[in-house]
Structure 1
């Protein structure tokens, strides 16, 4: 659906996106993650043609964005909804009027607009707020209006630029659950920009990590957290401190793994004591994944590794 290859973007002499190559599949929830200044919002704006990229290719539905005329770009954006951090609602318009606005601008009939707005208000759970003004809404309710407005033209792609950054944790979770529901019910591809790793864990199926315009990580979300490389560890602020003596073995527990109690089981069956010197378990998209580091004596290494291999556990000696 979205194919980006060797994409570069400059502001003057400053390169803000460096050789970006990714593919985003239809119906996927894809996260673009990075700290402030990483280039994530710039990349998002390239996808819907709000930014012009300097080199490389960016195709959506096999259309090269930089080759579209102004009229073609306007028609193209009809299929892409967008939500922002600060909602961008019109204060003098009601919830109904804010959601109806895109359809009015495209010349839809009132009957069709009314039907669509009521469907969307129901989808985002704001039936009782349809005639109120933004000033009477909470932050989470305002974002629900913004989401409904982004869906009025039946887009097949929804872009989210830090849409939960201004919300408290509970409200963030409710908005993310709404986006997951929309993704499932409407089969809409969602591309979200965020600097919050908790957002990625809750919703994203795949994630791209950007740092100063460079890709430092790209994988299925579970794999990024399960087996972080050194750049990912630095990004997450992780620091594995393990003993200098003995043998340190790292064990990986992927999603739906039945060996969450593996270490206890191994200790009992081998009649050994293990020191767990480092560990992390994360809930990623309702699955528990993680890894642990155990420290054993040198003379126990062969026996322990044979046992691990017999049970199909992914491991490495540090």
Structure 2
């Protein structure tokens, strides 16, 4: 669907994207994550052809973006929907008129526009607001209008640039649930730019972490949170605080793994007590994943590690 290989981007002599190589599959919800200045919005704008990249390859449906001529680029962008942090609605137009605008600009017939707009307003839960103006709507409602407008030309890809950053947590959750519903019903590939890790946990199947234009993490979302490397821990601002005495063993529990029963079972079968000295559980895409650190005496290390190996648990000694 979207294939990026060895992509570089410069602003003058400053390199803002460095050797980016990723693949985003059809129907995937993909997050591009990073702090301010990481290069995530620049990468998003390269995907829809609003920014030129310096070298490397960026293909959407096997079309190299930098090779598209002006008239082809316009047709290409028709299949790329876009939503923004501040909604970008036309204040003097009603909800209906805002959603209808892209179809009007492309010369669709009135009956086609009417049918599509009414369908989309029903999908986003605003069919009773079509005659309202943006200043009569809440932030969440405005974003729903923006999402409906982005879908009018039946795009294959929906790009979201910090679309939930201006919303409160409850509204953010409702918008993310709507995006999931759109993804499932319409099989639209969604690429989200965000600095909010909770957004990534709730919706993204895969995530790319950027720092100063460099990839510091790229994997399934659950794997990134379940087994963070040092860069990921630094990005999340967390680290294990464990005792200096004894042996600290970190156990990783993927989704649907009975982590609590494993610790209890091991303690019972080995006739040992374990001190759980650190732990973290995360809900990622409705699954609970996590890890915990147990502290044991040095002489018990071999017995415990042999038991863990027999049960196919991912682990490491810290």
Which TM class, normalised by the smaller chain length?
Answer: over 0.9
Verify: 1:168 aligned to 2:164, yes or no: no
Q: Structure 1 unaligned runs (5+)?
A: none
Q: How far 1:259 sits from its partner (Å)?
A: 3.0
CA distance in 2, matches of 1:135, 1:264: 56
Residue of structure 2 equivalent to 1:68? 68
Structure 1's consecutive aligned runs of 4 or more residues displaced over 6 angstroms after TM superposition are none
Which structure 2 residues correspond to residues 1-318 of structure 1 after superposition, within 5 A? 1-318=1-318
Q: Deviations over 1:112-139 (max 9, x none)?
A: 0000000000000001101100000000
Q: How far 1:246 sits from its partner (Å)?
A: 1.0
Q: How far 1:302 sits from its partner (Å)?
A: 1.4
Q: How far 1:258 sits from its partner (Å)?
A: 2.5
SS at match of 2:239: coil
Q: How far 1:269 sits from its partner (Å)?
A: 2.1
Q: Deviations over 1:8-61 (max 9, x none)?
A: 000011110000000000000000000000000000000000000011000001
SS at match of 2:192: strand
CA distance in 1, matches of 2:216, 2:304: 34
CA distance in 2, matches of 1:268, 1:91: 66
Q: Deviations over 1:226-267 (max 9, x none)?
A: 000000000000111222211111100001113333212211
CA distance in 1, matches of 2:86, 2:292: 40
SS at match of 1:260: helix
Count of equivalent residues: 318
Contact conserved, 1:253 with 1:260, CA < 8 A, in 2?
no
SS at match of 1:104: helix
Q: Structure 2 unaligned runs (5+)?
A: none
Q: Deviations over 1:251-289 (max 9, x none)?
A: 000011133332122112222111111111000000000
Q: Deviations over 1:183-236 (max 9, x none)?
A: 000000000000000000000000000000000000000000000000000000
CA distance in 1, matches of 2:245, 2:259: 27
- Aligned-residue Cα RMSD (Å) equals 0.7
Q: How far 1:292 sits from its partner (Å)?
A: 0.5
- Larger displacement relative to structure 2 (239-248 or 28-37): 239-248
SS at match of 2:128: helix
SS at match of 1:129: coil
TM norm structure 2: 0.99
Q: How far 1:308 sits from its partner (Å)?
A: 1.1
- Larger displacement relative to structure 2 (56-65 or 259-268): 259-268
